[in-house]
Amino acid sequence: MRAQRTFVKRQPQLPLPPWVRGLVITLFSISITMLGLLLVTFLIGRVMPIDPVLAVVGERASQEQYDAVFKDLGLDKPLIVQFFYYVSDVLRGDFGQSLLTARPVADDIARVFPATFELATIGILLGCILGVPLGVIAAVRRGSWIDQIARVVALVGYSMPIFWLGLMGLLLFYGILGWVGGPGRQGIFYEDMIPSVTGMILIDSALARDWGAFWDAFSHIILPASLLGYYSLAYISRMTRSFMLEQLSAEYVTTARVKGMSEWAVIWGHAFKNIRVQLITVIALSYANLLEGSVLTEIIFSWPGIGSYITTALLSADMNAVLGGTVVVGLVFICLNVFSDLLYKFFDPRSK
Amino acid sequence: MSYFRKLMATAAMGVAVGVTALPVIAETPANMLVIANRIDDITTLDPAQSFEFAGSDVLRNVYGKLVNFDPNNLDAGYQPDLAESWTVSEDGKTITFTMREGVKFHSGNPVRAEDVAFSLKRVVLLNKTPSFIITQFGFTPENVDETIVVDGNTVSITTDKRYATSFVLNCLTATIGGVVDKELVMANEVDGDMGNTWLATNSAGSGPYSLASWKPKESVTLNANADYYGGAPAMKRVIVRHVQESATQRLMLERGDIDVARDLNPSDVEGVRAAEGVEILEEMRGRLMYIAASQKHPELSKPGVRQALKYLIDYEGMQNSFLKGAYVTHQNFLPKTYLGAVDENPFSLNLDKAKALLAEAGVDGMELTIGVREAQERLEIAQSLQNTFGQAGITVNLEVGTGKQILGKYRARELDIYLGAWGPDYPDPHTNAGTFAYNPDNSDAANATGLLAWRNSWDTGGLTEKTAAAVVEGDRSKRAEMYQGIQAQFRDTSPFAVMFQKVEQAGVADNIEGLNLGGAITAVSYWTVTK
Amino acid sequence: MSSQASSLHAWLTSETPTSRRQARWAAVYKGWLSLKSNHMAMAGLAIIIALITVAALAPWLAPHDPFVQDLGNRLQPLGAEGHVLGTDSLGRDILSRLIYGARITLYIVALVALIAPIVGLLVGTISGYAGGWVDLVMMRITDIFLAFPRLVLALAFVAALGAGIENAVLAISLTAWPPYARMARAETLTIRGSDYISAIRLQGAGPLRIITKHIWPLCISSLIVRVTLDMAGIILAAAGLGFLGLGAQPPSPEWGAMISEGRRFLLDHWWVATMPGLAIFTVSLAFNLLGDGLRDVLDPKDSSS
């Protein structure tokens, strides 16, 4: 289920400077992917047996009210026309109106995406800070007790249903110990108190220099973020270990050791330096997965993120919201991909 | 190894700092009411359009109406609110309301007869889903200017025929009867929508609270209206937080982070009862749980089979196990406390009788599909039905989907059996009689998708006429009798098996006083709450 | 008996295999020996074998009918009389449901493990081998599926086809194949340029033959490792769909659906959700342990040190 990104691009020859060519090809393939993404989402929305009209009018509506909304939503037009309208609206930056929240999809996304972004970023930071050293140590001390512990920690992370762990964590750290704030992004004291600048409460409260609000938000985010961090830690530490093992068995490491270089320098100066590109790819992927929004985590922690936004919208056939959400998530994913590609080219001597 | 130790030390320090620095506040402020509730069903807060539970809860506290219910005495029925008094014409068709003086909207504008007329006309012209509550009295976009008339401090409405006055006034207590501030709303009109878009996320009322913000799937915040004509509410701010999981609501309640938890399941209710500082508030609500059998099905349309199904439901077993406290057995389409409601529950699980009825009807085993939406208590009921039906040789397949999916099939008359809930739209017996027992044209072409009887292709066997007669009967006790008769016939002949009525069990911090959830007839009231 | 076994051992470990078959079996045997020395992987394998046995013998092992309800006897605790793991909300025996649920879990795992890697292998190798426009188009399609929020894709698919275990399997496979395609393509690109493939091509082998006979076998080992490691993810994804009510339908004792049903009682009757949770955890762990071990055996990069 986790993507491996080790692909080589074959590029057609054009009479342009290489960087321009690269840029054009990258942009072209991004736009093709985006268009494909839109088309697939759009088709899904139209073939789904959930009726968007019912989402608007509800159970009691009479047939004429139903028909009026059916027309309002443009559902009487041919599919291809609907798609064309949609794409041209999106190109003008208009994602349409959400059926469920009675406001523009763009506004909704501006509200839910920062929530997910904040959570995913702290999650991935935790995952990296703990996962990378754990993986390196496990590789250096292969077979030792640290390696075994790292393996168990990671495999448990791979194997634990997140909703079970989430509820149990909430029960223990919030319900019994009272160490962390409860579900939601903020305590009620601070509800609507902090002016929204970025939509990320930690940053907004820091900007407003309201440290009480900052700690309050921190106490709410730390548990779900740790949970997500743990899941990425599991993946990152395993991959780090695997990459490191490959490097440590290479000849140059033996040579360096023979030359009397310190173990620290061998590990961090040489071996680790050589895996950072692969590692960045892995981390970028983990990050992208977290940015999709973990629906189950969001449900358990009442976190108003993009994952549950898209899911609810999908189940109510609120297609504008689904399309908007998918475009944003897809764009983030593609950008991270391009970003790690660029880093790859930048760091990897072979591709120069 | 030194680098490893350094690392662990840093990590440990990080954790320690994180943990000790977290401020944990375990009590809500004295002038603030904090509620956990599922509010993801809100799609608009325009009173002319809102038709969901959570939306009614908000709007009841934001908008004044001509007549309204007093939370301290729901049994008294509708009371004067924005209308101080009213008179009924000789022919019973025209009701004239005299406005209460000196009441102001949140904007500071006075509440005038003009605003009332605008609000009612707006409902008719916008023609949103709940508009039938008003338009069933014969108001149309063409005639509203003649039928809803302002004269100075009074507004009069004229119905197309004589209805029971209580029926008309009961309908005006529904959410759709909320009076909006004409000046403010029209100032925010876009493309001739009469402020529909703006009101979806803003408020223009005169009630005890005004809407501060609605963040979908996140929270609704209300601010007290200090100038409320009934006196400023004690709670200056009400925050309703969307919390999906019952277990989470319970944890928050027990931690003191919220004052009220409204979606506790029976298991968590038991838990909260045992906890200190919190108690359970129980109120009978209007929602019914029922199954309905399609009359297009060759076997289900046989009277004996319909009857047999009603003996194949383990009412008592369910009520005493997974539904414990949350639902009580109720086998009639009018909820308890409604005019004409009856308390007769003749059916109970009786396998022998059901088998005999089935054999008599010539049914020897069959396969049925029950459509049910993905919601835990309904799935459990469905599985219990699957179990008991199975014992009589009826194989049941469950078709589970999202609410909209199953509802779509139900409206298209495609399900064998539908398992679902029905909540009354306004506190008058006609709200349920008019859908369970009323179906003037049973043909597919009629497309009367709003009528439950039609959805199940049931021609009602004469109940349609009786229902139509009951709704125009002016005499209260006579009217009640008529509904009792309709229900008796309905119980015996209809393809509906009404099973349970909802009891809301809210977990409430024990310093909260005066919270009223609205009973079977209306929504929650926050303005009477004190701490 | 023992001389037969030892001669088999000798045949398998012979340094000078006399036939292609012997060489192939010898390689498998060598892998098995090295896997056998990995205790964790063996533990994983043992759990999986136990799971298969339990699933096969479910009717004989289960103490109760997993579907029979007893409302008067619901939410019994662990160790209750006649119900070792207690009963659920409708009074059904949890142990029996877990035992029958093993069949569903195996079914999901087997189907996804068949569909996703094979689709990925097909797309990846064809794309990698053909190159040019075919490659471009196929990789864009793969990208689209990769960039799609996974759960949305699965949800949409299940919503479109109707909830149920088969559709859940299809939906998971649909979201699971792109990484395999990427991987198979990368491997194909490396192999395609190698001397020995050129040699085979010079001998007149067609593309179909090269792909099926020479490229696929080389991709398989890394695919197997990946599938085993993904297995846990697949079980959890199915459970996640079950949690959202879109997986197996009631009264099916699918483990994810059981957690979903039991999570309402987590605070007071923790075992109802925890027992199926533990079952999922154990099986996922087993697949992960085995996958980890297999990687050490099959993946030459990792086993070198």
Domains delineated in chain A: 18-91 (no CATH), 105-351 (1.10.3720.10)
The C-alpha atoms of residue A189 and residue B525 are separated, in whole angstroms, by 22
CB B80 within 8 A of CB B100: yes
Cβ atoms within 10 Å, residue A133: 19
Are B289 and B502 in contact by the 8 Å Cβ rule? The answer is yes
Residues B242 and B39 sit within 8 Å (Cβ to Cβ): yes
Residue of A nearest to C300 (CA): A246
Tell me the C-alpha to C-alpha distance, in Å, between residue A274 and each of A243, A342, B521, C190.
9, 16, 71, 21
- Mapping DSSP to helix (H, G, I), strand (E, B) and coil, where does residue B519 land? coil
A49 CA to centre of own chain: 28
According to the model, what pLDDT value does residue B52 have?
83
Domains and CATH numbers, chain C: 26-66+86-298 (1.10.3720.10)
Residue to mutate among A57, A60, A186, with most B CBs inside 10 A, is A60
Contact predicate C270/C21, CB 8 Å: no
Contacts of B383 in chain C (CB under 8 A): 69, 90, 250-251
Contact C263 B247 (CB under 8 A): yes
Cβ separation C266–B247 shorter than 8 A: yes
Q: Which residues contact B479 (CB under 8 A, 6 or more apart)?
A: B164, B339, B340, B429, B470, B473
Low-confidence ranges of chain A (pLDDT < 70): 1-16, 49, 293, 347-352
Tell me which chain B residues have a C-beta less than 8 angstroms from the C-beta of A174: 251, 255
Q: Are strands B83-88 and B394-401 parallel, antiparallel or unpaired?
A: unpaired
Chain C residue with Cα closest to B317: C71
Contact B267 C90 (CB under 8 A): no
C-alpha torsion sign, points C198, C202, C205, C206: positive
b (16+ CB within 10 A) / e for C270-291: bbbbbbbbbbbbebbbbbbbbb
**Which pair of structure tokens corresponds to residue B375?**
């919601």
> Does the residue B404 lie in any domain?
yes
- Check which CATH number belongs to the domain holding B411 and give it: 3.10.105.10
Q: Which helix (H) or strand (E) holds C293?
A: helix C271-298
CA–CA separation, A13 and A25 (whole Å): 11
Burial of B422 (0-12, 13-18, 19+ CB in 10 A): buried
ipTM value for the complex: 0.79
Span C37-78, pLDDT tens digits: 778 888 889 999 999 999 999 889 888 888 888 888 888 888
CB contact under 8 A, A101 and B7: no
DSSP A144-165: SHHHHHHHHHHHHHHHS-HHHH
Nearest CA in chain A to B424: A60
Chain A nearest C-alpha distance from B312 (Å): 28
- For an interface test with A, which of B44, B53, B129, B202 has the most A Cβ atoms less than 10 Å from its Cβ? B129
Instruction: Kindly give the residue spans of alpha helices, DSSP state H, lying in chain A.
Output: 18-47, 52-57, 63-72, 79-91, 105-140, 145-159, 162-169, 201-207, 211-248, 251-258, 263-264, 272-291, 295-300, 306-315, 319-347
User: Within a domain: residue B137?
Assistant: no
The verdict on residue B434 lying in a domain is yes
Q: Of how many residues is chain C composed?
A: 305
Lowest mean pLDDT of B65-69, B440-444, C243-247, C284-288, name the range.
C243-247
Average pLDDT of span C173-187: 85
pLDDT, greater one: B6 or C94? C94
Q: Has residue B3 been placed in a domain?
A: no
pTM to 2 decimals?
Answer: 0.84
Given this model, what pLDDT does residue B453 score?
93
What 3-state class would DSSP assign to A8? coil
Average model confidence (pLDDT) across chain C: 81
Whether C135 shows a pLDDT value over 80: the answer reads yes
- Amino acid at position A352, single letter: K
C159 → closest Cβ in A6, A41, A314: A314
Interface probe for B, chosen from A191, A297, A298 (most Cβ of B below 10 Å), is A191
How far does CA C270 lie from the centroid of its chain? 28
The predicted pLDDT at position A293 comes to 67
* CB burial of residue C121 (10 Å; 0-12, 13-18, 19+): buried
Residue B251 with chain C: CB contacts under 8 Å: 267
Q: DSSP per residue over B115-184, as a string?
A: HHHHHHHHHHHH--GGGHHHHTTS--TTTHHHHEEEETTEEEEE-SS---HHHHHHHHTSGGGPPP-HHH
| Contact between chains at A50 and B247 (C-beta distance less than 8 A) | no
Number of other CB atoms surrounding residue A92 within 10 Å: 8
Q: How far apart are CA B295 and CA B277, in angstroms?
A: 52
Among the listed residues B201, B214, B148, B212, the one whose alpha carbon sits nearest the alpha carbon of residue B177: B148
Place of tokens 């409260």: A205
Distance between CA atoms of residues A34 and A250, nearest Å: 41
**B132 is a domain residue:** no
| Phi/psi of residue C216, nearest 5 degrees | -55, -50
CA distance A289 to A277: 19
Q: Is B136 on the interface with A (CB under 8 A)?
A: no
Assess B217–A contact: CB distance below 8 Å, yes or no: yes
Handedness of CA B357, B359, B363, B367 (dihedral sign): positive
- Which residue range is the domain that position B397 belongs to? 284-504
Q: From the CA of A81, how many Å to the nearest CA of chain B?
A: 24
Q: In what order do the strands lie in the sheet with B154-158?
A: B83-88, B94-99, B154-158, B148-151
**Which ranges constitute the DSSP H helices of A77-161?**
79-91, 105-140, 145-159
CA distance B312 to chain C (A): 15
Distance CA B194, CA B183 (A): 11
Residues of C with CB under 8 A from a CB of B: 67, 69, 71-72, 74-75, 89-91, 159, 162-163, 244-246, 249-251, 261, 263-269
Q: Residue C301's pLDDT is what?
A: 47
| Phi, psi values for residue C236, rounded to 5° | -70, -35
Residue B380's H or E segment, with its range, is: helix B376-391
What pLDDT sits at residue B5? 45
Tokens encoding B342: 């009856």
The CB density around residue A91, as the number of other CB atoms within 10 Å, is 8
Cβ atoms of A296 and C243 closer than 8 Å: yes
**Which residues, listed in sequence order, are joined to residue B373 by a DSSP beta bridge?**
B401
Strands (E), B7-69: 32-37, 67-69
Residues of C in contact with B401 (CB under 8 A): 159, 162-163
Q: Write down the residue that tokens 């009887």 correspond to.
A: B453
Indicate whether B175 belongs to any domain.
no
Residue B72 neighbours by CB under 8 Å, 6+ apart? B514, B516, B528
Test C182 with A163 for CB contact under 8 angstroms: no
- How does pLDDT run along chain B (531 residues), one tens digit per residue? 344 444 444 444 444 444 444 444 457 788 999 999 998 888 899 999 988 889 999 999 999 999 999 999 888 889 999 999 999 999 989 999 999 999 999 999 999 999 999 999 999 999 888 899 999 999 999 999 999 999 999 999 999 988 888 899 999 999 999 999 999 999 999 888 999 999 999 999 999 999 999 988 889 999 999 999 999 999 999 999 998 888 889 989 988 889 999 999 888 998 899 888 899 999 999 999 999 999 999 999 999 999 999 999 999 999 998 899 999 999 999 999 898 999 999 999 999 999 999 999 988 889 999 998 878 889 899 999 999 999 999 999 888 877 777 888 888 888 999 999 998 989 899 999 999 999 999 998 888 888 899 999 999 989 999 999 998 888 888 999 999 999 999 999 999 999 999 999 999 999 999 999 998 889 999 999 998
End-to-end C-alpha distance for chain B, whole angstroms: 59
Give the B-side interface with C, CB within 8 Å: 245-247, 250-251, 265, 267-268, 270-271, 314, 317-318, 320-322, 374, 376, 379-380, 382-384, 386-387, 398-402, 405
Alpha helix (H) residue ranges in B22-86 = 53-62
Number of inter-chain CB pairs under 8 A, A vs B: 155
**Predicted confidence band at C5 (pLDDT cuts at 50, 70, 90)?**
low
The helix (run of H) or strand (run of E) holding residue B437 is none
| The Cα angle at residue B71 between residues B65 and B72, in degrees rounded to 5 | 135
Total domain count, chain B? 1
Residue B481 lies in a domain: yes
Q: Which residues of C touch B267 (CB under 8 A)?
A: 75, 264-265, 267-269
The contacts of residue B170 (CB under 8 Å, 6+ apart) are: B78, B426, B427, B428
Q: Are B407 and B422 in contact (CB under 8 A)?
A: no
Quick check: helix, strand or coil at residue C277?
A: helix
Residue B527 included in any domain: no
pLDDT at position B345, please? 93
Preceding peptide of C251 cis, ω within 30°: yes
Spatial distance between the Cα atoms of C251 and C142, rounded to a whole number of angstroms: 36
Q: Which residues contact C219 (CB under 8 A, 6 or more apart)?
A: C121, C124, C125, C183, C184, C187, C188, C191
Per DSSP, the three-state class of A35 is helix
